[in-house]
């Protein structure tokens, strides 16, 4: 195999004969390099957005959530809290009551999801970093923390807190819904803080003490879910299995991915779509390489005849051109990987490509996260395309081709 590699490398470096053919080969190599770099950069940007969105959702979503498999509410005593809290790595156990309510502030009305939480929720929750006004404490029974979107729709001035808001929820025990006082349970809350995480949360949630929700919903010991947070760096897979064995078959134990399953599926589908589109562009570039390889073979017919007359087999000559094509492709691929990694590193360090100054977003520049798996996937993709591009023209070498070349000699 050393002879084909040696000759292929000589063909690649040769620039004396038919310079235009060598130029086309270099252009093919550059096209592969650009396509490879584009794949690396775009996949890394998607990783960055996925990581950013995950970090935003993780601010509000717990590491593990326990909810009823069928039904809405269950008695808090149905789950052995002491056993779960004794599992190493768990730092908070929060009982939650969550339901839709109507809020009214002055002449504005808005339907939200009110989330009643026990004290453990705010104890180890990173929500404090997303607070834009007021404080994260809920000292009184009717204290509340609202999302920025909720405050906007209710026309609450976040510079003038606390704000008095009325809460309306259908009365589960009412007999005559035609009378307003019977149809709804009504109470008041004071919005003492406003947070901003992400639009889906900001326009949906209001946090209140769980005692207020129990009184509003006329619950005794019922809850809708349990939220569990883990110590930083702890792997949740093992803890999730332990919680499943403790809670039993009547409950679903959901990790972060399962809590936002549709979102993560969409993000991965988008990443796959972009990967396929850019791979298709690489395949188009490979056709250019097939053309350049064919011209190289025609240019080296006389050399092939000489090799054949010296005893080289058809397989050896074919391997020469396959190796030469792979050299062009792999050099292009490695150059593209290196250039793509360099662009990603520069973006991570300096934020060269930024969002428009008029846009309001949680970051100023495009986020980038490089993953070794993406580099391996891109390299394997380019190798596969390159192998096809090298094999296809080389497979056309036949005995007739060598005989004709020999007669011309």
Is the Cβ–Cβ distance between 226 and 79 less than 8 Å? yes
| Range name among 148-157, 191-200, 355-364 with the lowest pLDDT average | 355-364
Q: What CA–CA distance (Å, rounded) separates 64 from 255?
A: 5
* pLDDT level of residue 406 (50, 70, 90 thresholds): very low
pLDDT of 400 reads: 53
Dihedral pair phi/psi, residue 354, rounded to 5° = -115, 165
Instruction: Please state, in angstroms and rounded to a whole number, the distance separating the CA atoms of residues 138 and 191.
Output: 9
Question: Average pLDDT for residues 99-126, to the nearest whole number?
Answer: 87
Q: What pLDDT does residue 317 have? A: 76
Task: Give 364's DSSP letter.
Answer: S
Q: What is the pLDDT of residue 180?
A: 58
Query: DSSP of 142-195, one letter per residue?
Result: TEEEEEHHHHHHTT--TTS-SEEEEEEEE-TT-S-TTSHHHHEEEEEEEEEEEE
Which residue from 394, 398, 229 is spatially nearest to 322, judged by alpha carbons? 394
Q: How far apart are CA 371 and CA 355, in angstroms?
A: 23
Neighbours of 207 (CB within 10 A): 22
Residue 209 CA to residue 291 CA, distance in Å, equals: 71
Q: Is the pLDDT of residue 165 over 50?
A: yes
Gyration radius from the chain CA atoms: 32
Q: Read out DSSP for 51-112?
A: HHHHHHHHHHS-SEEEEESSSS-EEGGGS-HHHHHTSTTEEEEEEEEEEEEEEEETTEEEEE
3-state secondary structure of 374: helix
C-alpha distances in Å from residue 396, one per residue of 35, 58, 151, 287, 303: 27, 57, 71, 15, 17
Domain boundaries, the chain: 2-57+263-408, 64-258
| Neighbouring residues of 100: CB distance < 8 A, sequence distance ≥ 6 | 111, 112, 113, 114
pLDDT for residue 133 is more than 50: yes
- Average confidence (pLDDT) over 200-218: 92
For the chain, percent of residues with pLDDT exceeding 70: 85
pLDDT > 50? residue 405: no
Pairing of strands 131-134, 108-117: unpaired
Model pLDDT for residues 181-207, shown as the tens digit of each residue? 667 888 999 999 999 888 888 999 999
3-state secondary structure of 115: strand
Nearest CA among 107, 185, 105 for reference residue 144: 105
* Helix, strand, or coil (residue 132): strand
Q: What is the pLDDT of residues 319-334, one digit of tens each?
A: 777 888 888 888 888 9
Q: Which of 278, 171, 183 is nearest to 215 (CA)?
A: 171
């Amino acid at each position: 195999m050393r002879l084909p590699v040696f000759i292929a490398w000589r063909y690649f470096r040769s620039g004396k004969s038919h310079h235009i053919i060598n130029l086309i080969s270099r252009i093919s190599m550059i096209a592969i390099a650009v396509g490879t770099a584009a794949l690396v950069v775009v996949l890394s940007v998607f990783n960055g957005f996925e990581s950013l969105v995950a970090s935003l959702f993780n601010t509000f979503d717990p590491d593990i959530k326990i909810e009823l498999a069928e039904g809405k509410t269950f008695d808090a005593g149905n789950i052995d809290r002491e056993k779960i809290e004794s599992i190493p790595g768990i730092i908070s156990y929060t009982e939650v009551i969550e339901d839709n309510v109507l809020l009214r502030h002055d002449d504005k009305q808005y339907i939200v999801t009110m989330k009643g939480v026990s004290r453990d929720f705010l104890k180890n929750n990173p929500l404090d970093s997303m607070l834009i006004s007021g404080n994260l404490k809920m000292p009184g029974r009717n204290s509340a923390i609202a999302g920025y979107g909720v405050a906007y729709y209710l026309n609450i001035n976040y510079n003038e807190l606390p704000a008095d808001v009325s809460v309306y929820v259908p009365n589960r025990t009412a007999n005559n819904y035609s009378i307003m006082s019977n149809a709804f349970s009504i109470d008041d809350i004071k919005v003492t803080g406003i947070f901003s995480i992400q639009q889906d949360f900001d326009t949906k949630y209001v946090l209140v003490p769980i005692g207020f929700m129990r009184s509003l919903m006329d619950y005794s010991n019922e809850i809708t879910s349990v939220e569990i947070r883990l110590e930083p760096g702890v792997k949740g897979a093992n803890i999730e299995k332990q919680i499943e064995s403790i809670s039993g078959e009547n409950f679903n134990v959901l990790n972060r991915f399962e809590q936002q399953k549709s979102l993560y599926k969409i993000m991965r589908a988008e990443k796959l779509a972009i990967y396929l589109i850019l791979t298709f562009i690489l395949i188009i570039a490979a056709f250019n390489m097939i053309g350049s390889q064919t011209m190289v073979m025609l240019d080296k017919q006389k050399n092939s005849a000489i090799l054949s007359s010296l005893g080289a087999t058809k397989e050896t000559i074919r391997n020469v051109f396959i190796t030469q094509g792979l050299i062009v492709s792999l050099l292009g691929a490695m150059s593209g990987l290196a250039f793509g990694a360099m662009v990603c590193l520069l973006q991570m360090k300096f934020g060269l490509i930024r969002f428009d100054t008029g846009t309001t977003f949680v970051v100023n520049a495009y986020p980038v996260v490089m993953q070794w798996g993406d580099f391996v996937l891109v390299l394997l993709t380019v190798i596969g395309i390159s192998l096809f591009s090298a094999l296809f023209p080389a497979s056309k070498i036949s005995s007739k081709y060598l005989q004709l070349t020999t007669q011309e000699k």
